[in-house]
């Protein structure tokens, strides 16, 4: 299974790709899609095009996106939601299933604590993907999202296999 993790953002949209083979995970690539200041539609198009290129280049088989949190700035939350729409649309358009995870669920899966800070997440991603060169904090978060999805998908696969065996 090849997992694309996406950390939505309007200025910086982190992405990370990992391969999962049973309990083993390995780093494939990571980076940041960037948009410059300007008209919102143009910025969203730039993010869309860059993320489409990531999907074309790395051919993931599934994807995961971090859920948006609501903050005090309604306009900022709405813009983040629009970037998140791009993050969900691109893999869906490629025929991939898209998992969604709350930030606390990602941190708990990767660090073991739902309220871990960015440095802890980065550290644990580096431990789980030895030798990885991370493009930045947004890419580290995207790799954490991919790792979280891998853990959930693997657990779901074990459960399905156990249920199938029990029914036989």
pLDDT category at 116 given cuts 50, 70, 90 is: confident
Distance, CA of 93 to chain centre: 16
How would you classify residue 35: left for phi > 0, otherwise alpha for psi between -120 and 50, otherwise beta? beta
Which residue numbers are catalytic?
7, 66, 138
Kind and range of the H or E element at 148?
A: helix 137-167
User: Structural domain boundaries of the chain?
Assistant: 2-121+131-161
Report the C-alpha gap between 111 and 105 in whole angstroms. 10
Q: Do 55 and 29 contact (CB within 8 A), yes or no?
A: no
**Residue 66 assigned ligand-binding role:** yes
Has domain 2-121+131-161 been given CATH number 3.30.420.10? yes
pTM of the model: 0.89
For residue 157, pLDDT over 80 is answered with no
Model pLDDT, residue 72 = 73
pLDDT category at 143 given cuts 50, 70, 90 is: very high
Model pLDDT, residue 158 = 43
Tokens of 128: 């789980």
Report the C-alpha gap between 92 and 128 in whole angstroms. 27
Distances in whole angstroms, Cα of residue 92 to Cα of each of 71, 76, 87, 124 = 27, 24, 9, 29
**Residue 7 assigned ligand-binding role:** yes
Q: Which residue has tokens 């299933």?
A: 97
Distance, CA of 95 to chain centre: 16
**Residue 100 assigned ligand-binding role:** no
Report the C-alpha gap between 12 and 158 in whole angstroms. 35
Compute how many other C-beta atoms are within 10 angstroms of the C-beta atom of residue 5: 31
């Amino acid at each position: 299974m090849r997992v694309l993790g996406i950390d939505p953002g309007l200025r910086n949209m982190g992405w990370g790709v990992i391969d999962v083979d049973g309990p083993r995970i390995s780093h494939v690539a990571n980076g940041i899609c960037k948009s410059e200041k300007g008209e919102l539609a143009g910025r969203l198009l730039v993010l869309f095009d860059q993320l489409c290129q990531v999907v074309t280049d790395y051919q993931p088989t599934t994807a995961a996106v971090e859920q948006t949190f609501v903050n005090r700035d309604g306009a900022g939350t709405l813009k983040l939601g629009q970037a998140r729409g791009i993050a969900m649309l691109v893999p869906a358009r490629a025929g991939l299933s898209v998992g969604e995870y709350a930030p606390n669920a990602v941190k708990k899966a990767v660090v073991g604590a739902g309220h871990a800070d960015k440095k802890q997440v980065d550290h644990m991603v580096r431990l789980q993907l030895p030798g990885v060169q991370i493009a930045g904090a947004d890419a580290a978060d995207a790799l954490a999202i991919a790792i979280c999805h891998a853990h959930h998908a693997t657990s779901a696969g074990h459960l399905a296999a156990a249920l199938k065996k029990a029914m036989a």
